[in-house]
Structure 1
Amino acid sequence: MMMTQETGAAAMTNATPDATSGTINPALKLAIGSLIVGAAVLGLKTLAWWLTGSIALLSDALESIVNVVTALAALIAVRLAAKPPDAGHPYGHHKAEFFSATLSGLLIILAALVILREAYVGLMTSHSLAAPVLGLAVNGAASVLNAVWAWVLITRGRALLSPALAADGRHLMTDVITSGGVMVGLVLALMTGWWFLDPLMAGLLALHIMWSGGRVVQGALSALMDEALPEDTLDTIREVIATHATGAVQAHDLRTRHAGSVTFIDFHLVVPGDTRVDDAHEVCDRVEAALIGAIPQAIITIHVEPDHKAKPQGIDVAPA
């Protein structure tokens, strides 16, 4: 007897806007908020650079341009990922968010290269700062706004299983660290009169930004390559199957992948050869319900096989 059963969570967090209520899903609201906050922070940091003439603050403002672009990319990706499956994309559009995260990482690296160039030019020329205190105050206000919104994006992005929003939040947190370093460098320059600290700090922080962008790209590409779920999550899945598949013999060939807000789980479930189809179906329903309870927004495919298909290595099911 062979039977394949596929189910999924009835409602996805990143579902399309409710046509009946006209509401917008939370992930899309956060993406719109990121665009607004990014534009406000860009304006403040540009003002801080204009007031001081600081190369480090100019570099900070350049990175904020990337923030706006990545926020726009995240907005587009979240909107596209929310589209339901269609004939051309039967598994949905969830991976669009990983493309957005990849773009964000590449833009972060590009911004770091631009900052390095500005830092080099600054080291080759001597300069002092105009209105440094006021500029630092404006830049500090922008950093506080960025820090608050980064925390919101990271926590809510994880809760909504949205890699685009979480990546945007991590990028903003990197921007907060960058701004903090810039301000420390400028304060030291003011106290000592060593104005070369301004471009030097910009160059050091550019290297940190480049490293952060590389990590974002690496994570997104791993997901696009259908990397398996983390080992602790796999252990949870194995435990759920072993505990709730009573009536079956074993499970094997477990495969998992993550796409946007959705987790795909498929495996073979071995049952006694004389098991009725409806009884095997009841076991599958029980396991699926337990897995969805442990892994929200999971889409599960179970291939049922007779007991002679059991393998030496598999997930042993607890006896009745």
Structure 2
Amino acid sequence: MTVPQHDRANLRVQTASVAVAATLVIAKAWALYSTGALSVAASLADSGLDLMVSLGGLWAIRYAQRPPDADHHFGHSSAEDLAALAQSAFIGVSAVGIAAAAVARVGSPPELQAEGAGIAVMILSIALTAVLVVYQTRVARITGNRVVAADRMHYIGDLLPNIGAIAALWASQALGLVALDTVIAVGAATWLAIGSARIGSGAWHALMDRAAPDDMVSAISALADAQPGVEGHHDLRTRTAGARVFVNLHLEIDGALTLDEAHEIGEALRHDILARYPGTDVIIHHDPV
């Protein structure tokens, strides 16, 4: 699959993510109005966050695909990290709000109602989320896009609050355990807070030009050592920005080679790196031994 095809596939799956999130927000808002369950409120907030995350991801994917220009020589991929940082802050605030509402209900939990309707909406949520995750898994495997992969992991995590909401509604309807709704809401808020910290930390490190993972750096170093004509390398530096990794390294090559010969050695290594890590931005300098 070519890069333009990758871009189109990423945009399609992210658009599907937005559509699923919007559908679930509407359905869960109705379920919350019908049941008054805090666990449904937690699930609704999570779907609202999904919608924000998916919209941010869609914008980031579209913006990051812009080519480098006069003002952005290295492209626009950091837009993905800016969107993720804003999303993490929003998630954290929502988690605090849900936890506060749950604590306020301790000792005097309200009676829930229309539990059956709420359960039906949660089942619909699980079904739509599962279909979306399968689609995201396929696209992420083909394109290797980190935004799609991260969105996929987020939706996999969303299955837990939905299942918890079903458990709370069933317990209220069948066993009269209304308090379980509060317990599940607190658990969902905790899970959201942890997710917020994880997303924010990753975005912050990327904006601070954090190096690529150690295994990727080691693999690139091994490719350079194995490249015919390369007698050594130094100053291997990497940084991440959104879904892209930038690689800069110096090759030590026989100084008696012609410029064309030295260039071919560097290009062969660059192609090997791109074959291993598609979408990587590679800059190679040639130094005589």
Amino acid at match of 1:305: D
Deviations 1:184-230 (A, max 9, x none): 23323334322111112101221111111211111122222222222
Q: Deviation at 1:269?
A: 0.8
Does the Cα contact within 8 Å between 1:97 and 1:162 map onto a contact in 2?
Answer: no
- Counterpart check, 1:303 vs 2:285: yes
- Counterpart check, 1:257 vs 2:205: no
1:148 equivalent in structure 2: 131
1:290 equivalent in structure 2: 272
- Counterpart check, 1:89 vs 2:60: no
Q: Which has the larger radius of gyration?
A: 1
1:54-203 equivalences under 5 Å are 54-153=37-136, 156-157=139-140, 159-203=142-186
1:310 equivalent in structure 2: none
Deviations 1:152-192 (A, max 9, x none): 33553464343333333322222221111222233233343
Deviations 1:233-287 (A, max 9, x none): 222212211122x223211111122333432211111122322222211211221
Q: Distance in 1 between matches of 2:136 and 2:208?
A: 25
Deviations 1:18-74 (A, max 9, x none): xxxxxxx22222222222111101112122222222121122112222222222212
Q: Deviation at 1:12?
A: 6.2
1:244-283 equivalences under 5 Å are 244=227, 246-283=228-265
Q: Distance in 2 between matches of 1:107 and 1:115?
A: 13
Quick one: structure 1 residues 43 and 76, their matched pair in 2 at CA, closer, same or farther if it must change by over 3 Å? same
RMSD (Å), alpha carbons: 2.1
Aligned residues: percent identity?
28
Query: What TM-score does the superposition give when structure 2 sets the normalisation length?
Result: 0.91
Does the Cα contact within 8 Å between 2:246 and 2:282 map onto a contact in 1?
Answer: yes
Does the Cα contact within 8 Å between 2:68 and 2:74 map onto a contact in 1?
Answer: yes
Amino acid at match of 1:283: I
Does the Cα contact within 8 Å between 1:101 and 1:167 map onto a contact in 2?
Answer: no
1:19 equivalent in structure 2: none
Q: Distance in 2 between matches of 1:178 and 1:135?
A: 13
Quick one: structure 1 residues 150 and 124, their matched pair in 2 at CA, closer, same or farther if it must change by over 3 Å? farther
2:33 equivalent in structure 1: 50
Structure 1 or 2: more helix by fraction: 2
Amino acid at match of 1:275: L
Higher RCO (C-alpha 8 Å, min separation 6): 1
SS for the counterpart of 1:226 is: coil
2:15 equivalent in structure 1: 32
Query: What TM-score does the superposition give when structure 1 sets the normalisation length?
Result: 0.83
Q: Distance in 2 between matches of 1:284 and 1:70?
A: 39
Quick one: structure 1 residues 266 and 222, their matched pair in 2 at CA, closer, same or farther if it must change by over 3 Å? same
SS for the counterpart of 1:85 is: coil
Deviations 1:99-121 (A, max 9, x none): 12222222222221121122123
How many residue pairs get aligned? The number is 288
SS for the counterpart of 2:272 is: helix
Quick one: structure 1 residues 14 and 87, their matched pair in 2 at CA, closer, same or farther if it must change by over 3 Å? farther
Quick one: structure 1 residues 138 and 193, their matched pair in 2 at CA, closer, same or farther if it must change by over 3 Å? same
- Counterpart check, 1:216 vs 2:199: yes
Q: Distance in 1 between matches of 2:182 and 2:263?
A: 67
Instruction: Point out where structure 1 has 5 or more consecutive residues left out of the alignment.
Output: 1-9, 16-24, 308-320
Q: Distance in 2 between matches of 1:212 and 1:238?
A: 33
